[in-house]
Structure 1
Amino acid sequence: MSDAPYRLHESLGYRLSIASRQQERRLDDGLRTLGLTRITWCVLLAIGNEDLTQPSDIAQFVGIDRTATSRALRQMESDGLIARASGQGDRRTRRVTLTETGEHVLAEGTPIARANAHAMAARLSAEEHQILKDLLDRLIRAEHKALKRL
């Protein structure tokens, strides 16, 4: 271990956090115009684009716990974006679907999300963009494996 002082602005974690916050802030600003948060946007994507209907699958896709998912689903149901129904045969099972309003908001949010993704990607060449994605995927997979071992 080095005796050199730790330099915050030189750390990978700090740089990842700053880039992430910049991207998230821009996305949050756009989604707010639709009455959405980043989590509710991700839930809309899970249901509308990935055809996920079970809260546990939605939670895993979004990367949040079941409690946060339940809270988001309750709010989204109240806002008329989703409908929840008991499963057939097992009343504990909940099936989640988009309402017509939810489908409309998903369609309105898609250009906002695409523009946000483009704003970040446009700062890199196509090759740099792919390299960064590959490196981030490698870090995510390695961390996921490390957490599974715990």
Structure 2
Amino acid sequence: MTRDRFDRTRSAGYLANHMARLFAQRLHERIRPLGLAPAQFMTLLELWDEDGLTQRDLVDRLDVEQATMANTLARMERDGLIERRAHEADARAKTIHLTRRARDLRGPAEAAAREVNAMAMEGMEAAERERFVVAIGKAVEGLKVGAQTDR
């Protein structure tokens, strides 16, 4: 009996994981001189869009574990990127706010991310780029829905 061999070159999961690792490596190379790590950059993207989120908000938006977010925020606070303030409505919660340093990093950090995206899609035509991004978005949504139904 012959078994079908797993073909990683045709596996969406394998390729997405490999691509994500390469994206993270290239992004890290470009944002390291800014004093940022990829997890900090992802957190900043959310805070640049909406300053004053709670740790719980960030966990939900970034699909990360509570402990991972707590560690990321602790490093960001240590590095002078964020400050925590008392939540107006919930005495147990803190809101996360950007410092001037973090706001000033937005332009250079986003430019670095655009460079990495351009590098990844260099060999694609505009229509292929659009289809690629739409397809990845659909895959992400499918996995989110699948995770919710597993609970």
TM-score, normalised relative to structure 1: 0.88
Partner of 2:144: 144
**Counterparts of 1:31 and 1:62, CA distance in 2:** 19
| Residues 1:66 and 2:66 aligned together | yes
Within a 5 Å distance, the mapping from 1:46-65 to structure 2 comes to 46-51=46-51, 53-65=53-65
- Deviations along 1:78-132, one digit per CA (max 9) or x if unpaired, are 1111110111253212111101111112232121111111212222111111111
Structure 1 stretches lacking a partner, 5+ long: none
Contact residue 46 and residue 52 of structure 1 kept, 8 A: no
Opposite residue 145 of structure 1, the aligned amino acid is V
Secondary structure (helix, strand or coil) at the match of 1:33 reads helix
Matched-pair identity in %? 21
CA apart distance, 1:50: 3.5
Partner of 1:26: 26
| Residues 1:76 and 2:76 aligned together | yes
Contact residue 85 and residue 94 of structure 1 kept, 8 A: yes
Distance 1:56 1:36, change over 3 A: same
Structure 2 stretches lacking a partner, 5+ long: none
Contact residue 55 and residue 96 of structure 2 kept, 8 A: yes
- Deviations along 1:23-60, one digit per CA (max 9) or x if unpaired, are 22110111111121111011111111233521111122
Partner of 2:133: 133
Opposite residue 132 of structure 1, the aligned amino acid is F
Partner of 1:116: 116
Q: How big is the alpha-carbon RMSD for the aligned residues of Structure 1 and Structure 2?
A: 1.8
Greater CA drift, 13-22 or 53-62:
13-22
**Counterparts of 1:130 and 1:33, CA distance in 2:** 30
Contact residue 55 and residue 69 of structure 2 kept, 8 A: yes
